[in-house]
Amino acid sequence: MRLIVGLGNPGTKYQHTRHNVGFDVVEVIAQKTGVSLNRKKNLAELGEGFYLGRRIALARPQTYMNFSGESVHALAQWYKLAPEELLVVYDDIDLPLGKLRLRAGGSAGTHNGMRSILDVYGRQDFPRLRVGVGACPEGWDLADWVLSHYADAQERQTQFDAFLRAAEAALAWAVAGMEAGLRVCQAGV
């Protein structure tokens, strides 16, 4: 079993904002795999299925970003996952728009959703896939920036392309491990 969790905020107000990258990537994965996010479990929208012979689950926590740890920890316990069987997908202001970075572990950086996961889950040694949303422009409040929509068609296309690559990287990770996921991330550079 491999669990791919996309971070975001529930509700139409937040749909397709920079902070909802994780939700958008999980939606692309669901479309690619035919997995329907039709269940509610452990404070998340959840779906299960198979992809290239590997059992996968997709989840979008419904706790709001700053409390993501409650859902992720509950899902990891419920599925009895080893840390390396969990992948968290989320936005990163420290990466240029559309850039991907896959890591086997690490700190939360400035991301409150990841900080919540580390606090509640109590671990740092699980994979995470960050999707760049670009740095907060001078004069902007950080919360306003991450909750904003993309400025124009070019930004939307850059991010959509990143969502497709992120979905491919997450599925490569699920089927063949970190090295396969890293190759997909690096191929898009």
d(CA 188, CA 109): 24
d(CA 35, CA 101): 24
**Which amino acids are annotated catalytic?**
19
Q: What is the C-alpha separation between 59 and 6, in angstroms, rounded?
A: 6
**Interior/surface letters 3-33, b for 16+ CB within 10 angstroms, e for the rest:** bbbbbbbbeeebebbbbbbbbbbbbbbbeeb
